[in-house]
Amino acid sequence: MTEPAVLGRLAGLLVVGVILQTAVISQVTVFGAPIDLFPLVVATVGLLLGSLGGAAFGFAAGLFLDVALLQAVGVTSLVYTVVGYGAGRLLELRDPSHGLAPMAVGAAATLAATVGFAMLTFMLGVDAPVSLLLVRQILVTVVVNTLLALPVYALVRRILHPLLPEDPRRRRRRASTTRLSPLSRA
């Protein structure tokens, strides 16, 4: 696979993801909080591609969302850049291969994204009180995204799968198979 193929798939993921998020997913609410899967998507891309890919995808996704939703351009891109970069750094430093790692990363990414977005919004002068409702919405979003982290991770990994020679799960499976195979001893 070539670099343009990676970019093509990422761009497709980005466009379809933003359209689905804004047109459909955001309209589904759980306990009064709209579902926001984009922190999960950004964190998953970072977890699969590394810090550079994560930061770039996060920036692009945030920019696209800001433009599509007519928000202050730069806020979401700044937050998602940090989220994507952080998830990518986790891959580079720890290389998490545990099956539940995406859940932990998804929860952390969602918490960072929601809190970061709220803080930036307040710093930019949005006249809204820091209420218990906001805290509840953040917590609900984190819980929902934690539960959805594994399916989202599986979906994004499936989309980017052919482009990921360093997929930790595949690498782990390969290493374990190699050790157990009688052929490897010969």
> Which stretch in 70-78, 104-112, 130-138, 161-169 sits in contact with another protein by CB under 8 A?
70-78
Q: For 143, how many CA atoms within 13 A lie in the half-sphere containing its CB? A: 10
Taking the complex as a whole, how short is the minimal distance between the CB of residue 99 and another protein, in angstroms? 26
The answer to whether 39 and 114 have CB atoms below 8 angstroms apart is: yes
- 133 scored as a contact of another protein (CB under 8 A): no
The answer to whether 41 and 9 have CB atoms below 8 angstroms apart is: no
Residues 3-42, one symbol each (x = binds another protein by CB under 8 A, - = not), give ----------------xx-xxx--xxxxxx----------
Contacts (CB under 8 A) with another protein, residues 80-119: 81-82, 85
Q: Which is nearer to another protein, 166 or 174 (CB)?
A: 166
Q: Which residues contact 142 (CB under 8 A, 6 or more apart)?
A: 107, 110, 111, 114
- 62 scored as a contact of another protein (CB under 8 A): yes
Q: Which two tokens stand for residue 107?
A: 């929860």
User: Could you say which of 52, 100, 126, 133 contacts another protein (CB under 8 A)?
Assistant: 52
Q: Which is nearer to another protein, 98 or 119 (CB)?
A: 119
Q: Which is nearer to another protein, 140 or 163 (CB)?
A: 140
Pairing of strands 29-30, 33-34: antiparallel
For residues 98 and 11, give the distance between their C-alpha atoms in angstroms, rounded to a whole number.
Answer: 28
Question: Which residues, listed in sequence order, are joined to residue 34 by a DSSP beta bridge?
Answer: 29
For residues 17 and 39, give the distance between their C-alpha atoms in angstroms, rounded to a whole number.
Answer: 11
Question: Which residues, listed in sequence order, are joined to residue 29 by a DSSP beta bridge?
Answer: 34
- 78 scored as a contact of another protein (CB under 8 A): yes
Residues forming contacts to another protein in the complex (CB under 8 A) are 19-20, 22-24, 27-32, 51-52, 55-56, 58-59, 62-63, 66-68, 70, 72-75, 77-78, 81-82, 85, 124
